[in-house]
Amino acid sequence: MKLIILGPPGSGKGTIAGRLEKEFKFKQISAGELLREEVAKGTTIGKDIQKIMEKGGLVPNNLVNEIVRLEIQGKKHYILDGFPRTLEQAKSINDLPITKVLYAEVPLKVVVERLSGRRVCAKGIHNYHLKYIPPRKAGVCDVDKTPLRRRKDDAPLSVQRRFQVYQKQTLPVIRYYKRKRILVTVDARGEPHRVYQLVKKALHLHG
Ligand code: AP5
């Protein structure tokens, strides 16, 4: 399986990819996470990336393409989470035999609610939602026991910008895959378990 998951910020791409990885062992490759790892290294390029991400813009195509390519190397089953987000990125992976592109569709109202309640662990890896996916102990990550925090780009102004960027740059990518007839759309407004069941059904996955 070589899957792409696309959708607006906060649509649940990471949550869906994480569940598929856990159940089916497809490797989740999150562009946002790879970029946050680059930022954590504190290099000059990492600092430039950080400024772009905090404002809710897109990191330059050549850089993201290179980082994602490196991560894909040698893997047979993977899920690209949040990549490609521009037509240029999409065309850069035209050589890959992508099985399906999953579009997690949610309206802006849902995005705002999900991102305002999102909390992540100190390492930025594990995701929770105060109301929908709470940790077992308030304020603490179930997995690595670090304190939970809010992502900087989940501030209202950044969310608004991310949604605008998504509409301008990523909706054309969704239309591109629709024309290629490999797009499957899932209504991702429901609660996490329900959405996950819809995803498995849409992808003909049993488990
Ligand atoms: P990235 O980290 O990919 O951010 P995003 O696309 O904006 O997506 P999010 O991580 O915010 O949300 P998600 O859809 O994964 O939802 P999640 O599962 O967390 O990218 C960050 C930045 O990096 C970008 O803005 C850009 O600057 C840069 N970047 C990344 N990729 C790039 C690229 N290809 N090119 C250029 N730049 C790039 O869920 C959200 C919340 O809702 C969580 O709290 C979760 O617990 C909760 N939740 C999930 N599902 C449900 C549900 N069904 N019901 C209720 N709550 C739910």
Alpha-carbon span 148 to 122, nearest angstrom: 6
**Distance between Cα 206 and ligand 1 center (Å):** 25
Atom 54 in ligand 1: residue holding the nearest Cα: 191
Distance 162 CA to ligand 1 centre (A): 10
User: Which of 16, 62, 118 has most ligand 1 atoms within 8 Å of CB, for mutation?
Assistant: 118
Burial level of 162, CB count in 10 A (0-12/13-18/19+)?
buried
Give yes or no for residue 207 having a pLDDT over 90. no
Structure tokens at 122: 């100190």
User: How much is the average pLDDT of 168-176?
Assistant: 98
Sequence length of the chain is 207
Instruction: Report whether residue 20 contacts ligand 1, using a CB cutoff of 6 Å.
Output: no
101, containing H or E segment: strand 100-105
User: How high is the pLDDT of residue 123?
Assistant: 85
Angle between helices 44-55 and 31-40 (to 10 degrees): 130
Q: What is the pLDDT of residues 137-164, one digit of tens each?
A: 999 999 999 999 999 999 999 999 999 9
Pocket test for ligand 1, best of 6, 11, 15 (most atoms within 8 A of CB): 15
- 135 touches ligand 1 (CB under 6 Å): no
Atom 17 of ligand 1, nearest CA residue: 12
Taking phi over 0 as left and psi of -120 to 50 as alpha, with beta for the rest, 42 belongs to left
Gap from CA of 157 to ligand 1 centroid (Å): 15
Ligand 1: distance of its center to the CA of 6 in Å? 10
The string of pLDDT tens digits covering residues 82-131 is: 999 999 999 999 999 999 999 999 999 999 999 999 999 998 889 999 99
Ligand 1, from 34, 114, 161: best to mutate by most atoms within 8 Å of Cβ?
114
Atom of ligand 1 nearest to the CA of 56: 25
Distance CA(58)–CA(48), nearest Å, equals 12
Please state whether the predicted TM-score (pTM) of the whole model is above 0.85.
yes
Q: CB within 8 A of 200, min separation 6: which ones?
A: 206, 207
pLDDT number for residue 135: 97
Which tokens is 8 given?
């607006």
Higher pLDDT among residues 207 and 114, named by residue: 114
pLDDT tens readout for residues 7-64:
999 999 999 999 999 999 999 999 999 999 999 999 999 999 999 999 999 999 999 9
Copy the structure tokens of residue 42.
């504190």
Give residue 124's pLDDT. 85
Nearest CA to ligand 1 atom 34: 83
